[in-house]
């Protein structure tokens, strides 16, 4: 288990080493990719040699972001001094390919905001109160008075916006808005980034949403909503990484729903669970923990055994047991 370090401790690691590798979790989202792009740009501005890896590469919906061309998929062994894992609660989620090319004997720094973080690595910078890992990085950059290139500025905004549901989720705080305001003050074009992030997606995403809506179900009491996505349907619509990002908010917006779930069949036959809660009394991280997953109180995920229908039954059993009984 790693040991917590301060901003000054992180600064010492950076100042005494020259070669860094950045990682983030498989099936990356805006916070994972945005954090990698931002930290890579900042470290390079400090004169460091930096490689950024992701097991699955950059999803289609984030290819517009400047700097993502610097994120590689693992291919051959890498020599480095320091590995920095970003936005990843457990080491395995970094991906077998990434872990394999790194080998052993490196200094590991774990920077994350997930409450379920397993505290792997040598040094920990974990703050579960932060809205995004990008928010943690921003705090470090400001405290250490490091340079903030435009590429990093935009990437940090993407990290923040995506992990707060465009500043709609309860993890949005005064610190979140102050960070966003500062980034805008540094020249960030909110309208342009928002348009590319939320209002510029391929038609297949609409086809995917239509397919999902056809499977939507609610429990009799209306407190749990879910939809399912089979591997066959994914092939039919030509689904690509990033296409489903944010779609679960359609279920989350249903009046009376407390917990919603995206239940997705993977190519290997396993089932991916993605859960959201819109009531602080329901901790979906606890639900996902029973399937070996984790995340945040209001947003979490896990993987479980198939088939799809059986996974739904098991999920509903756990979720219903977690909800408080309805008053008479």
Q: pTM of the full predicted structure?
A: 0.91
In sequence order, which ranges of 78-173 are alpha helices (DSSP H)? 96-102, 133-144, 150-163
- pLDDT score of 280: 84
Q: For the residues of 233-274, what is the DSSP string, one character each?
A: HHHHHT--TTTTTTTTHHHHTSTT-SEEEEEEE-TTS-EEEE
Q: What share of the chain is helix, strand, coil (3-state, %, to 5)?
A: 40, 20, 40
- pLDDT score of 62: 96
Ranges under pLDDT 70 in the chain: 327-328
Written as six digits, the tokens of 302 are 């896990």
- pLDDT score of 328: 45
295-308 pLDDT, tens digit per residue, is 999 999 999 999 99
- pLDDT score of 84: 98
Written as six digits, the tokens of 309 are 């229908």
Domain limits of the chain? 3-198, 203-322
- Topology of domain 203-322 in CATH is Diaminopimelate Epimerase; Chain A, domain 1 (3.10.310)
Phi, psi of 77, rounded to the nearest 5 degrees: -55, 140
- pLDDT score of 305: 96
- Is domain 3-198 annotated with CATH 3.90.1640.10? yes
- pLDDT score of 327: 53
Dihedral, 163, 47, 68, 96 alpha carbons, nearest 10: -80
Q: Which of 161, 147, 209 lies closest to 33, judged by CA?
A: 161
254-288 pLDDT, tens digit per residue, is 999 999 999 999 999 999 999 999 888 899 999 99
């Amino acid at each position: 288990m790693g040991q917590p370090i301060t901003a000054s401790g992180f600064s010492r690691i950076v100042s005494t080493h020259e070669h860094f590798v950045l990682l983030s979790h498989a099936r990356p989202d805006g916070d994972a990719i945005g954090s990698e792009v931002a930290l890579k740009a900042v470290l390079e501005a400090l004169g460091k040699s930096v490689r950024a890896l992701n097991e699955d590469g950059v999803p289609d919906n984030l290819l517009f972001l400047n700097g993502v061309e610097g994120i590689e998929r693992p291919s051959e062994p890498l020599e480095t001094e320091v590995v920095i894992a970003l936005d990843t609660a457990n080491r395995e989620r970094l991906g077998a390919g990434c872990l394999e090319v790194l080998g052993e004997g490196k200094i590991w720094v774990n920077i994350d905001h997930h409450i379920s973080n397993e505290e792997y690595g040598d040094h920990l910078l974990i703050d579960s109160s932060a809205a995004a890992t990008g928010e943690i990085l921003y705090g470090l950059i400001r405290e250490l008075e490091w340079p903030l290139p435009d590429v990093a500025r935009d990437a940090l905004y993407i990290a923040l916006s995506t992990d707060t549901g465009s500043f709609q989720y309860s993890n949005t705080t005064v610190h979140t808005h102050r960070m966003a305001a500062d980034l805008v003050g540094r020249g960030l074009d909110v309208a342009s980034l928002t348009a590319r992030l939320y209002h510029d997606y391929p038609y297949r995403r609409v086809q995917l949403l239509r397919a999902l809506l056809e499977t939507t179900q609610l429990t009799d009491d209306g407190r749990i909503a879910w939809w399912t996505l089979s591997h066959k349907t994914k092939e039919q619509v030509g689904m690509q990484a990033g296409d489903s990002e944010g779609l679960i908010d359609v279920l989350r917006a249903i009046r009376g729903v407390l917990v919603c779930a995206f239940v997705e069949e993977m190519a290997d036959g396993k089932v991916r669970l993605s859960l959201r809660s819109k009531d602080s009394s329901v901790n979906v991280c606890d639900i996902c923990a029973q399937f070996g997953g984790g995340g945040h109180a209001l947003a979490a995920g896990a993987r479980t055994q198939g088939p799809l229908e059986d996974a739904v039954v098991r999920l509903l059993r756990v979720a219903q047991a977690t909800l408080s009984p309805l008053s008479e």
